[in-house]
Amino acid sequence: MVEPAYTVTSDSETTGEEKSSTFPEIAIGIDIGTSQCSVAVWNGSQVELLKNTRNQKIMKSYVTFKDNIPSGGVSSQLSHEDEMLSGATIFNMKRLIGRVDTDPVVHACKNLPFLVQTLDIGVRPFIAALVNNMWRSTTPEEVLAIFLVELRAMAEAQLKRRIRNVVLTVPVSFSRFQLTRIERACAMAGLHVLRLMPEPTAVALLYGQQQQQTSHENMGSGTEKIALIFSMGAGYCDVAVTATAGGVSQIKALAGSTIGGEDLLQNMMHHLLPNSENLFKNHGVKEIKQMGLLRVATQDAIRQLSSQTIVQVDVDLGDGLKICKAVNREEFEEVNRKVFEKCESLIIQCLQDAKVEVEEVNDVIIVGGCSYIPRVKNLVTNVCKGKELYKGMNPLEAAVCGAAVEGAIASGVNDPFGNLDLLTIQATPLAIGIRADGNKFVPVIPRDTTMPARKELVFTTTHDNQTEALILVYEGEGEKAEENHLLGYFKIMGIPAAPKGVPEINVCMDIDAANVLRVLAGVVMPGSRQPAIPVMEVRMPTVDDGHGWCAEALNRTYGATLDLVTLQKKA
Amino acid sequence: MISSVSFLSLPFVNFFDNAMASSSCCVKSWPIVAFATAEARSSWMEQPRPSYLNSSCSSPYDILGIPVGASNQEIKAAYRRLARVCQTDVAAIDRKNLSADEFMKIHAAYSTLSDPNMCANYDWSLFWRQQQ
């Protein structure tokens, strides 16, 4: 088999680089959405979106492997939209990255033209592209790296300088493991990640800058504005509630879910052709083409329903399979009722977590590709009691502009007019804790904790003379441990023998200013002032792959023998 | 029983205490009301307080540099002003951990004073102490 012509940079190139430039190397902002992407940079006085050779600011997120040489949506142009659905092109990479094969999101991707296979045991899914009638395997990280190489080349060509540092937007619901995969893809592309910003946080930063420019308020004073930020793209739905004054934006709450335009599309495809999963199961050339035709027709219909109330779907899939159906907007909304209800619940949850009443919200900001869907606009407006939507942002550009502003700030750029006198006080999107109290998830750092953060809880043994404890670190919101993402594990050994409930096991979690998570654990016997054994400090995540399988294997191997319970505080 | 060993008092805090004395961002000092032991204070609070606040004798008002009984708007303005100074995204690498510890103290003080229940308890305990 012919080796691909491209070269992916090795990790080592990202370190020890000689600095030749005398100017500050400004980080660029990148927003790789599930279906679209964009790049922006602070040009000295404002944010500028970069364009590719076809003068496009918004580009499609895909990599095609036809002709054996992979190329992404940045530089290449597919001759027709059908070509993206031929099996040779991989898209939805942001939806696949960092997921295990038991994830329903991975299973939903089996309905796509490229190949996704699962063993359903908690390992990585198998992914392949159809190249010259041969399925060629790849990984989401590799696809993303190829895409990033093209983005980097585009940026370097336009800015006429080397690009190393980037700020990327990420979904709120991304786990720390998924963040490591994003960073890995960037490293493969020769890029250094300065920040990974939750998408609504990037929008909040842009909003903070706009408020600063509008009011010219004094630093640290002035009227506080509460903003609700709703972001829904092809793959993810994110919500944030922020308080902004004097250029300082405080993220009061974040909420996110893996729902987006792709779910609307898949539900609609299933509605038009109820038996499609079985029909397309073989993934033969004929089935792939049929999938593609159905997908294009459904996409067109959904797009048209944003501006008209009824649309005719006419598509001939071959083999006597035809769809000829009028679809109206109410039908589309009913088919996707659960998706819209989930969006609504995210907004309500976020307001509750922020302890903000709807009446206190000054601005309602809605961004992302799905913000053009009437039902999406309506549900946000309804939750916010009919408040008018904020008009100061382009829905498709807000996140990348915010990332570019953060790139400038993090690069140390000083703007004489004060346009970069901004600060975003960030919050943890997910709770982090350990397994304790009989397979419960016990958060040590709760969701929406202001970062940097350091919090601790005290636990104790569950068995008489227990001398070891297994610390399993999870991230998420589920009540049971396994409902969350396993980040890592370690064992505390050498606990002094004592009746159960006597040793005090202190578990501290620290998130530093660079969003690095460390877990510290120590053992203290009552009445003593010194740790009984050396304190352990472990940087997370430690689980590199197969974290779905890993949790089950640990449970099978150790059961409850090394369990801990929360120590009830005495008065 | 409160654990006598805590990770919240990492060595950096001590370094910060020294650095703070000479730092240009030192918070303004206000008359400090002496406190008794941590055990005595904890009996007033509905919730246990971060132990590193116990290790220093600064009150949340002192940390934010505002007078006792300041309004909610004053509390927020002070928080934002100090957050800018301490948690700049461009903090030098060697100052990063210092900034993180410093910001955590400021945020903890802000959380105490901006929570109506905790603030009332704190003000009441302060009042009670002043009667001694």
pLDDT digits (tens, 9 = 90+) for A192-208: 898 799 989 999 999 99
Indicate if A64 and A150 belong to the same structural domain: yes
Q: A211 and A96 in one domain?
A: no
The proportion of chain B whose per-residue pLDDT surpasses 90, expressed as a percent, equals 0
- The answer to whether residue A21 sits within a structural domain is no
Distance from CA of A313 to the nearest CA of B (A): 51
> What pLDDT is recorded for position B15?
27
Please say which residue of A144, A159, A194 terminates a domain. Answer: A194
For B77-99, what is the mean pLDDT? 66
Are A162 and A21 in contact, with CB atoms under 8 Å apart? yes
Tokens of residue A40, six digits: 């922006």
CA A483 to chain centre: 18
pLDDT in tens, A322-332: 899 899 998 99
Q: Which residues of A touch B (CB under 8 A)?
A: 219-221, 224, 245-248, 250, 406, 409-412, 421, 423-425, 450, 452-456, 458, 504, 506, 508, 510, 512-514, 520, 522, 524, 526, 528-531, 535, 569-570
| Every domain of chain B and the residues it spans | 60-131
Query: Exposed, middle or buried: residue B28 (CB in 10 Å: 0-12, 13-18, 19+)?
Result: exposed
User: How many other CB atoms are found less than 10 A from the CB of residue B34?
Assistant: 7
Dump pLDDT digits (tens) for A399-434: 999 999 999 988 888 788 888 888 889 899 999 999
Read off the pLDDT band of A222 (50, 70, 90): low
Tell which of A194, A211, A230 closes a domain: A194
Q: What homologous superfamily is domain B60-131 in, according to CATH?
A: DnaJ domain (1.10.287.110)
Residue A464 lies in a domain: yes
Beta strand A165-170 pairing with A126-131: unpaired
- Statement to judge: residues A185 and A230 lie in one domain: no
Q: Identify which of A230, A152, A163, A168 has the alpha carbon closest to the alpha carbon of residue A33.
A: A168
The most confident of the ranges A5-9, A317-321, B128-132 is A317-321
Highest mean pLDDT among A233-242, B58-67, B70-79 belongs to A233-242
Amino acid making up residue A261: G
Q: What is the pLDDT averaged over residues A462-470?
A: 92
Which pLDDT value is given to residue A24?
60
Same-domain pairing of A222 and A352: yes
Cβ pair A522:B5 closer than 8 A: yes
Report yes or no on A409 lying in a domain: no
CA-based nearest distance B28→chain A, Å: 16
Residues of chain A with pLDDT > 90, as a percent, come to 48
Is residue A20 a part of any domain in this protein?
no
The C-alpha of B108 sits at a distance from chain A's nearest C-alpha, in angstroms, of 10
Residue from A456, A509, A533 to probe the interface with B (highest B Cβ count within 10 Å): A456
Residue A341 has pLDDT above 50, yes or no: yes
Nearest to B89 among A410, A452, A453 (CB): A410
pLDDT at residue A8 greater than cutoff 70: no
pLDDT of B96:
56
Residue B116 burial (CB count, 10 A): 9
Which pLDDT tens digit goes with each residue over A236-256?
Answer: 999 999 999 988 998 999 999
Kindly write down the DSSP assignment for every residue of A251-263, as one continuous string.
Answer: EEEEEEES-SHHH
Q: Among A206, A136, A132, A193, which Cα is nearest to A402's?
A: A206
- Is the domain of A215 the same as that of A363? yes
Q: Which two tokens stand for residue A550?
A: 């890993």
What mean pLDDT comes out for the span A456-462?
92
Does B109 contact A at CB distance below 8 Å?
Answer: no
Report if residue A328 sits inside a domain. yes
**Residues 6 or more apart from A307 whose CB is under 8 A from it?**
none
Taking the CB of residue B48, how many other CB atoms lie within 10 A of it?
11
Pairwise CA distance, residues B71 & A61, whole Å: 50
Same domain, residue pair A297 and A438? no
Indicate which CATH number applies to the domain containing A477: 2.60.34.10
Over the stretch A140-181, which tens digit does the pLDDT of each residue have? 998 999 999 989 899 999 898 879 799 999 999 999 989 998
Whether residue A14 lies inside any domain: the answer is: no
Percent of chain A with pLDDT over 70: 91
**Packing angle of the helix pair A337-354, A261-272 (nearest 10 deg):** 160
Q: Which of A300, A315, A334 is the last residue of a domain?
A: A334
Number of domains in chain A: 4
Q: Does B55 touch chain A (CB under 8 A)?
A: no
The whole-angstrom separation of Cα A223 and Cα A247 is: 11
CB contact under 8 A, B104 and A219: no
A42: domain CATH number? 3.30.420.40
Confidence of residue A4 (pLDDT cuts 50, 70, 90): very low
Q: Is the pLDDT of residue A492 over 90?
A: yes
Interface contact A423-B88, CB threshold 8 A:
yes
pLDDT at B130: 60
Q: Do B89 and A456 touch (CB under 8 A)?
A: no
- Residue in the block written with tokens 């202190």: A506
Task: State which of A438-447, B49-58, B77-86 shows the largest mean pLDDT.
Answer: A438-447
By Cβ distance, the residue of A246, A450, A506 closest to B80 is: A246
Please tell me which residue of chain A has the smallest CA distance to B72: A224
pLDDT-derived band at B24, boundaries 50, 70, 90: very low
Q: How far apart are CA A224 and CA A246, in angstroms?
A: 8
> Cis peptide leading into A526, omega within 30 of 0?
no
- CB–CB of A201/A238 below 8 Å? no
Distance CA A233, CA A213 (A): 28
* Residue A9 in this model has a pLDDT that exceeds 90: no
Residue A385: pLDDT band (50, 70, 90) is: confident
End-to-end CA distance of chain B: 27
How far is A516 from chain B, CA to nearest CA, in Å?
A: 11
Structural domain of A127: 28-194
> Is A403 among the domain residues?
no
Residues A314 and A367 in one domain: no
* A105 and A229 together in one domain: no
> Are A120 and A266 within one domain?
no
For the stretch A48-98, pLDDT in tens is 899 888 788 898 898 988 776 788 888 776 665 666 778 998 988 888 999
> Which of residues A10 and A63 earns the better pLDDT score?
A63
Q: Does position B25 have pLDDT exceeding 50, yes or no?
A: no
Give the C-alpha separation, A237 to A540, whole Å: 26
Q: Is B81 on the interface with A (CB under 8 A)?
A: yes
Nearest CB to B1; choose among A246, A456, A526:
A526
Question: Same domain for A54 and A125?
Answer: yes
For A395-535, list the strands marked E by DSSP: 423-425, 431-436, 440-445, 453-461, 468-476, 485-493, 504-511, 517-524
Question: Residue B29 pLDDT more than 80?
Answer: no
For residue A403, the model assigns a pLDDT of: 97
In a domain, A5, yes or no: no
Å between A247 CA and nearest CA of chain B? 9
